[in-house]
């Protein structure tokens, strides 16, 4: 039986970013250096396949520092943690390694600097997301106010409209954030923004690649986890850019083939914490059903690399 023809538009860049790459490497190097088990506070990155792979090597994932013994190393996830967490680890004399993405750390430093200058912070982000919790936890209670939507801007109550600054979660939709920033500037003309965009290069690049290929796609599949903010934003960006069917899938087994009946072109991308092996799996699933033509859509070449913390590069002493 002849397979129907299908063009797969493959976004580039896609998948792992430098911060995710570094975080995974940190867990692997910690296991090599100290042996298993190594504890990780929260999922190191939001991807079940990655987390399960590290768990198989001896990583134990917990949600709270209280669940970690004092005598084993603990790693803080790429999303960042409130200041109270490393302070507690130091108090307990634990060995800890901070795998916070350097671009998230940049936002933390920014928030602290503004606070030191007497400014109250407004954070654009998603309530309850680990990165938002971590950034808001850099400053005392009440010093960071959260807004999620343009509507939230109208209701936010500030201490002094002349003494404000804002930061953003690094994994948001570039377009949505621009609307919220515009609303903040309308309501608080004196508000100070970041020197450089807080939304990370990888989030921006992946969204731009989706926008570039969306007009040529009948459908878009984003490989990523449901709790991955940047993956969910890619689905929204694709839908907004004209893909009548845009869907998040964790693995090839999640593809709804009935929804794709009669299509001739599909865009494929992946969130920043999805490994290439899962994208390959999705491509192979299409090859089994269609006569596939691959069309790479490259909008930018990424060559960012972040060093792992020094403690992992030093020999074990004692």
CA dihedral 209, 103, 250, 54 (to 10 degrees): 140
* Residue 167: CB atoms within 10 Å: 23
Q: Average pLDDT, stretch 275-283?
A: 98
Whole-angstrom Cα distance, residue 203 to residue 165? 22
Euclidean distance between the first and final Cα of the chain, in Å?
A: 67
55 cis-preceded (ω within 30 degrees of 0): no
Q: Under 8 Å CB-to-CB from 254, ≥6 apart: which residues?
A: none
Query: In a 10 Å sphere around its CB, with 0-12 CB exposed, 13-18 middle and 19+ buried, how is residue 266 labelled?
Result: buried
Q: Provide the 3-class DSSP secondary structure of residue 144.
A: strand
List residues with catalytic annotation: 131
| Mean pLDDT for the stretch of residues 116-134 | 96
In tens, the pLDDT along 175-204 reads 999 999 999 999 999 999 997 778 899 999
Q: Which band of pLDDT confidence, cut at 50, 70 and 90, is reported for residue 1?
A: confident
Domains and CATH numbers, the chain: 5-16+201-298 (3.40.1010.20), 18-101 (3.40.50.11270), 103-187 (3.40.1010.20)
Closest by Cα among 87, 166, 81 to 131:
81
Tell me the average pLDDT across 140-149: 96
Region of 94 please: left (phi>0), alpha (psi -120 to 50) or beta: beta
318 — pLDDT class (breaks 50, 70, 90):
low
77-94 average pLDDT score: 97
pLDDT in tens, 151-172: 999 999 999 999 999 999 999 9
Q: Give this prediction's pTM.
A: 0.94
């Amino acid at each position: 039986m002849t397979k129907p023809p299908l063009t797969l538009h493959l976004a580039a860049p896609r998948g792992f970013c430098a911060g995710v790459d570094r975080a995974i490497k940190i867990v692997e190097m910690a296991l090599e250096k100290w042996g298993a088990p190594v504890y990780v506070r929260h999922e190191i990155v939001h991807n079940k396949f990655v987390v399960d792979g590290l768990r198989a090597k001896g990583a134990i994932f917990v949600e709270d520092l209280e669940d970690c013994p004092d005598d084993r190393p603990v790693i803080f996830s790429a999303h960042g943690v409130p200041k109270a967490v490393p302070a507690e680890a130091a108090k307990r004399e634990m060995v800890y390694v901070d795998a916070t993405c350097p671009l998230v750390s940049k936002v933390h430093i920014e928030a602290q600097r503004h606070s030191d200058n007497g400014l109250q912070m407004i954070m654009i982000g998603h309530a309850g997301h680990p990165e938002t919790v971590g950034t808001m936890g850099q400053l005392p209670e009440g010093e960071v106010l959260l807004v999620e939507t343009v509507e939230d801007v109208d209701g936010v109550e500030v201490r002094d409209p002349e003494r404000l600054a804002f930061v953003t979660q690094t994994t948001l939709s570039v377009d949505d954030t621009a609307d919220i920033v515009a609303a903040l500037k309308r309501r608080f003309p004196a508000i100070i923004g970041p020197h450089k965009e807080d939304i990370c290069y990888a989030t921006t690049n992946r969204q731009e690649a989706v926008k570039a290929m969306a007009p040529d796609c009948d459908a878009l599949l984003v490989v990523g986890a449901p709790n991955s903010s940047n993956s969910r934003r890619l689905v929204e960006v694709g839908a907004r850019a004209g893909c009548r069917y845009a869907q998040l899938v964790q693995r090839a087994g999640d593809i709804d083939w009935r929804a794709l009946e009669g299509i001739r072109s599909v865009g494929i991308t992946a969130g920043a914490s999805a490994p290439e092996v899962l994208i390959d799996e999705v491509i192979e699933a299409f090859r089994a059903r269609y006569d596939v033509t691959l069309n790479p859509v490259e909008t930018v070449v990424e060559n960012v690399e972040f060093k792992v913390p020094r403690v992992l590069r030093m020999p074990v002493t004692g």
